Amino acid sequence: MMRLLRQLFWVFLTLGFLFGIILLFSYDIIKIEWVSFMEIQPAYQPMEDPLPPPEGSIPIEGAIAIPGMGAPENPVETDESSLTRGAELYIINCRMCHGPTGGGNGPIAPFLANKPANLTSEVVQSKSDGSFFLTISNGITGRMPPLNENLTVPERWDVVNFIRTCFEPQENPREECR
């Protein structure tokens, strides 16, 4: 009888001991760093090529411009709200180079090797809205940065409307242009 009790005592002591050790791990009192590297994971790396759109997907805004099909048509009407947005976006994204009145004399223009275009000039104003849009979207290599990540598609058209409407010298400038 005594022997059985003693054996049971040892069995429970051993079990309790093992249980205690397991608790130490499960509460992270003892931590083991398993070999793991951040780069070994299925995540998509920032330097990899952009993922192609999933098969069969359709862009909800339609194609912005189809390469080789020329400049797109301006779908945004030149109304008061478009001009107001365009004026604000111009101040944020363009004015530092092209200047407050579009003359190409913004505050950082003196530091640029290639001077920003005078947006009021005949040469620039004779270009189409779509040509402005493409310039804003793609930039001009080595001269003007592409701004497609700063401005959404409708925002780019607002800026186009603004430079078209407000940078032509005019006798009675619209309210939004002043």
Interface residues toward ligand HEC, by CB under 6 A: 93-94, 96-98, 112, 114, 116-117, 119, 124, 127, 131-132, 135-136, 140, 143-145, 147, 159, 163
Q: Which is nearer to ligand HEC, 24 or 92 (CB)?
A: 92
**Shortest spacing between CB 84 and ligand HEC, in angstroms:** 16
Structure token digits, residue 67: 């390469």
User: What residues contact residue 130 under an 8 Å CB cut-off, 6+ apart?
Assistant: 65, 70, 71, 72, 73, 74
Query: By C-alpha distance, which of 163, 161, 165 is closest to 74?
Result: 161
Structure token digits, residue 170: 């005019």
- CA 159/CA 94 separation, integer angstroms: 9
Structure token digits, residue 16: 């309790």
Q: Which is nearer to ligand HEC, 43 or 142 (CB)?
A: 142
Q: Is 80 helix (H, G, I), strand (E, B) or coil?
A: helix
Query: By C-alpha distance, which of 87, 111, 89 is closest to 101?
Result: 87
**Shortest spacing between CB 45 and ligand HEC, in angstroms:** 30
Q: Which is nearer to ligand HEC, 6 or 127 (CB)?
A: 127
Q: How many residues belong to the chain?
A: 178
Q: Which is nearer to ligand HEC, 7 or 152 (CB)?
A: 152
**Shortest spacing between CB 168 and ligand HEC, in angstroms:** 13
**Shortest spacing between CB 35 and ligand HEC, in angstroms:** 48
Q: Which is nearer to ligand HEC, 105 or 143 (CB)?
A: 143
Q: Is 89 helix (H, G, I), strand (E, B) or coil?
A: helix
**Shortest spacing between CB 93 and ligand HEC, in angstroms:** 4
